[in-house]
Amino acid sequence: MNTYIYGYGPAGKERLIVVDLGVTFPDMDGSPGVDLIMPDIEWLESNADRIEGIFITHAHEDHIGALAHYWPKLRKPIFARKFTGRIGALKLEEAGISANEITVVEPRPHVISLGPFKVQFVPVSHSIPESSALVIDTPAGRLVHTGDFKLDGSPIVGEPFDPVMWHEIAKEGQGIKALTCDSTNIFSPAPGRSEATLAEPLAELIAAQKGMVVATTFASNVARLKTLAEAGRAAGRQICLLGRAMRRMVSAAQETGVLTGFPPVLSPEDAADMPRHKLMLIVTGSQGERRAASAALSRGKYLGLEMKEGDSFLFSSKTIPGNERGVIRIMNAFSEMGVEVIDDHGGLYHVSGHANRPDIEAVHDLLKPRAVIPMHGEHRHLREHMKLAQSKGIASEVATNGTMLDLTDEVPQVVEHIETGRTYLDGSVLIGAMDGVVRDRIRMALNGHVLITVIIDEDDEPLGEAWVELMGLPETGKRGAALADQIEEELAEFLARAPEKVLSNDDKMDDAIRKIARQVTMEEVGKKPEVTVVVSRLIAA
């Protein structure tokens, strides 16, 4: 959920630009039921009057996913290049916001002047078209924000990384004061490989298959889609794209002219009529997402198409840590169908979109920044990147979420930690990660939920017996009797004996009932459940 803010001006009154408004994805472990995780932008919202504009480096969800959700809170001009702008426009329109809020800009040498900032988009190679670094000039010096990037001289779709242009950028004026730099692959020791190296292995692989071939990759990796489609065509196969995200990306890339020469595609209906050995599907869901096309095919027929013994399924992708369970589930489902599952074969059928350690070093050497601020990656990645920079005599500082760095002097200084965190899109509303809503869900999932209702009459006497409902708890306890009955019995005993001062006091009733329910449940089934107590009091007419 990348969101970076640059400021220039007197302390506390800096003019600001926002770079990216990204999301991250929920999981059962920490955020069950949540739809999207976004940065908590409370500080940004309360300083919205100081924002000059919002810049989006590229159209990956972790950089653009929160744009439509947060724009209504910020209402500032958005700047992006054409493909990114097209994806952003689709998001805004879905949220009922005019696509005109986005200004589509040309790359360097075009300069966007905003308050004290002069900003240029500089093409870099990545796993989506038009990924861009930003060169941000301020009266105090030049900053470079790399965005996500790799060093690829032949990225198939989109612009190559251009060392000559970057050399110029580093030489102009006083050079680069600070480089905010991608750290994702800092632990990958070998130089990164070009997207172009995949064409031959993929073509050979697909030519060798006998049945239907299905390949999955990230929907936004338009270059890979093209390589895969061309490999399929070279093997005499017709291409069909499955999955809304993928069709949307290809359309946006074609409409904005960044993708040309993509082979014609079949509709799923027409694909279903093709002989299997003449067909190749390129599908969404490389990360095992339950609703994507890969998962759907692993469960059976999808849009009239079905995997069979002798077919092949290729993961032209890497599993992002945390997604292993979902991916493995799909692999095994295909294996059970007799489908040949092919993974990236140690990189033969997939390359990363991020600069590896030697590439990052090369960028340090090329740009000669006076300071490096590592970004993108977990804390251990940022720390490793900082150590790399420092080992070469470059000032560096790890900035965790909420950190404000002062870049005025040669060595970056941490000047403030802004209270920040995560905001959840939960259904249709935004909630704070610490609001307790999700905590309660996790507790119910771990402990089960006991509901108890008691009616107290006008004289503060129990009317009838307590009623117990269980959800997510074993029906039967150790002694072989129904757990709900056991709790009800204990509560009946309690109610029969409870003194009036307890019966007349809601808090005391709640505490006592809760305690009994937890005790009985612990004894009977060994769990301490969540308990909701409803005491209804009849009021004298």
Order the strands of the 132-138 sheet from edge to edge.
Answer: 112-114, 117-123, 132-138, 141-145, 176-182, 371-375, 395-396
Q: How far is the CB of 335 from its own copies (least distance, A)?
A: 4
Neighbouring C-beta atoms of residue 290, cutoff 10 Å: 13
Q: How far is CA 116 from CA 52, 106, 110, 112, 425, in A?
A: 9, 20, 16, 11, 34
Interaction with its own copies in 26-45: which residues (CB under 8 A)?
27-29, 32-33
Is 153 a binding residue for its own copies by CB under 8 A? The answer is no
Q: How far is the CB of 475 from its own copies (least distance, A)?
A: 8
Q: How far is CA 1 from the centre of its chain?
A: 6
Nearer to its own copies, 11 or 414 (CB): 414
Q: How far is the CB of 289 from its own copies (least distance, A)?
A: 13
DSSP 302: B
Both tokens assigned to 117: 């900032």
Q: Are 152 and 227 in contact (CB under 8 A)?
A: no
Q: Are 202 and 228 in contact (CB under 8 A)?
A: yes
Nearer to its own copies, 204 or 378 (CB): 378
Range list of H helices, 160-313: 163-171, 199-207, 222-234, 244-255, 268-272, 293-299
Q: How far is the CB of 62 from its own copies (least distance, A)?
A: 16
Nearer to its own copies, 140 or 471 (CB): 471
In the list 109, 321, 393, 499, the residue contacting its own copies (rule: CB under 8 A) is 321
Is 154 a binding residue for its own copies by CB under 8 A? The answer is no
Beta strands in 311-380 (DSSP E): 312-315, 340-342, 371-375
Interaction with its own copies in 394-423: which residues (CB under 8 A)?
400
Interaction with its own copies in 8-27: which residues (CB under 8 A)?
27
Q: How far is the CB of 37 from its own copies (least distance, A)?
A: 14
In the list 261, 427, 496, 540, the residue contacting its own copies (rule: CB under 8 A) is 427
In the list 73, 299, 325, 515, the residue contacting its own copies (rule: CB under 8 A) is 325
Region of 100-108, 206-214, 245-253, 331-339 interacting with its own copies (CB under 8 A): 331-339
Is 437 a binding residue for its own copies by CB under 8 A? The answer is yes
φ and ψ of 215, to 5 deg = -125, 140
Interaction with its own copies in 440-499: which residues (CB under 8 A)?
440-442, 444-449, 451, 453, 455, 463-464, 467, 469, 471-478
DSSP 160: P
Q: How far apart are CA 215 and CA 312, in angstroms?
A: 8
Neighbouring C-beta atoms of residue 118, cutoff 10 Å: 15
Q: Are 233 and 207 in contact (CB under 8 A)?
A: no
Site string for its own copies, 80-99 (x = CB under 8 A): --------------------
Interaction with its own copies in 360-379: which residues (CB under 8 A)?
378-379
Region of 43-51, 119-127, 227-235, 522-530 interacting with its own copies (CB under 8 A): 522-530
Is 73 a binding residue for its own copies by CB under 8 A? The answer is no
Q: Are 144 and 132 in contact (CB under 8 A)?
A: no
Q: Name which of 321, 461, 447, 295 is nearest 380 in CA terms.
A: 321
The residues that touch its own copies, with contacts defined as CB under 8 A, are: 27-29, 32-33, 321-322, 324-325, 328, 331-332, 334-336, 338, 341, 378-380, 383, 400, 426-429, 431, 435, 437-438, 440-442, 444-449, 451, 453, 455, 463-464, 467, 469, 471-478, 522, 524-527, 530, 532, 534, 536, 538-539
